[in-house]
Amino acid sequence: MDFKEVEAIGRVEFLGNHTDYNKGYVIAAGIEAKTTAQGRTIDDKIKFHSQQIENLGDGQNPNFEMGLEILTDSVSLSPQEFVKVLDEKLVPKWARYPLGVAYFLQKDGLVTFDKGFEINYAGDLDFGSGLSSSASFEVATWKILKKLFPFKQDLKKAALLCQSAENEIAGAPCGNMDQFSILNGDLTYIDCDDLSHEKLELPDGWEIAVLNTGVYHEVSAKEGFPRRRIESETAAKYLGVKFLRDANIDLYHEKYEEHKERLADSTFERYYKRPLSRAFHVINENNRVREVKQSLVEYAEKKEKGKARIEDENKLYRILVNTMTASHDSSSIYFNNSSNELDIMAKLAWKEGLAARLSGGGFGGSVIAIIKDDAQKESLNEIARLYEEKTGIKVQPKIYKIAKGAYHNS
């Protein structure tokens, strides 16, 4: 059988850092960077090759091959039992992402794997860049398996299936923003509780620059992303809410003082202060997302009526500068998921007057900046030069247009 090919875009987190798994709000944008997957059915094996893993050059084997029975014999297994099978067979971490997608397609009764399959992955969406390369990998797998073993699934369920593959099989505790954004595309405001969403638009000619720090970002690193998720869930309990989306700043201050008064200083400092600082970030980040969403909607309404002027664009950009700077600072100070390199890159961008912030899980990866004119575009080279001077890391800024999602041409 000839190979079939599909693509899945990348995404940037425009605003809403670590709010998605707290059932909060985000603004995300699909970007033209992509993962490609070429696939075909074969007799009784599963074969993967990842050009991205090969490009990492970190010693991981970019090839995976195993008998089809790793899936067909696992149809009745729970996710935890399936992970044990993968552990026993020493399945490499990167191969667990596509295997997780196939497992859940089978588990949910959407696909019966009566044949094996071979998938070759490539593209220009680098792993560890903070642009949801893992979610793009999962969505590309979902799309190519849909071509090879036709099935129907709506957008939200597809996003949740791919999220389950990452959470339960690959062991990375991400929220649902990444998979949904890649499937949906566009610049989109998302309520991560039920994935209701609203399309937004930037003014004509505005683009998104990605400034990759060159420091690898990994969602599943134990002391990073997973720790922050546990701390956020703990903070929700301390505030007496199910999820941090249900908290507000008044409740935060009330509970903070209440816990501080009733607990010994050492107990408060050791067990309460850190989770509550995570809550402070998430509560304010949700507010920032809603503020920017409203500003974008108001600008779009003026534009539609033919009343948008250059001063309206400038006002909108000032709002983005302020909220994105506050978002990055909050991530760095209260959520502690920035890094020295991310802070350096963001500050260099701010010095050039750019609306910029870290994007994604943090601990490495990329800073994004909103580019509204040629002068700002030209400033990116100076930012890269100064960043290399300060860190010794050579980087190449990239500019992306907002892209349509993978679901809409699947």
| CATH class of this structure's domain 4-200 | alpha beta
How sure is the predictor about 217, in pLDDT bands with cuts at 50, 70 and 90? Answer: low
Residue 265 has pLDDT above 60, yes or no: yes
For residue 220, the model assigns a pLDDT of: 47
pLDDT band for position 323 (cuts 50, 70, 90):
very high
Please indicate whether the domains covering 4-200 and 207-406 agree at the CATH topology level. no
Structure confidence at residue 206 (pLDDT): 97
Q: What is the pLDDT of residues 132-143, one digit of tens each?
A: 999 999 999 999
Evaluate whether 132 touches 10 at the Cβ level (below 8 Å): yes
Mean model confidence pLDDT for the chain? 94
Q: Identify the band that residue 287 occupies on the pLDDT scale cut at 50, 70 and 90.
A: very high
Q: How far apart are CA 8 and CA 78, in angstroms?
A: 28
Residue carrying the six token digits 């799309």: 143
Question: What integer is the mean pLDDT of 253-281?
Answer: 95
* pLDDT of the residue at 346: 98
222 pLDDT more than 60? no
* pLDDT for residue 231 is more than 70: yes
What's 245's DSSP letter?
G
The topology (CATH level 3) of 207-406 is Alpha-Beta Plaits (3.30.70)
Q: Residues 1, 129: contact at Cβ < 8 Å?
A: no
Gap between the Cα atoms of 76 and 73, Å rounded: 8
Write down the pLDDT at residue 221. Answer: 47
Under the banding of pLDDT at 50, 70 and 90, the label for residue 410 is low
pTM: 0.94
Say what the pLDDT of residue 219 is.
Answer: 52
Question: Is residue 87 scored above 60 in pLDDT?
Answer: yes
Query: Residue 223 — pLDDT band, cuts 50, 70, 90?
Result: low
Give pLDDT, residue 1. 75
Q: Mean pLDDT throughout 329-344?
A: 96
**Domain map (residue ranges) of the chain:** 4-200, 207-406
CB distance 373 to 143 below 8 Å: no
pLDDT band at 408 (very low <50, low <70, confident <90, very high): confident
Give the Å distances, CA to CA, from 161 to 54, 126, 193, 213: 27, 23, 15, 31
Q: Which pLDDT does position 127 carry in this prediction?
A: 73
* pLDDT of the residue at 280: 98
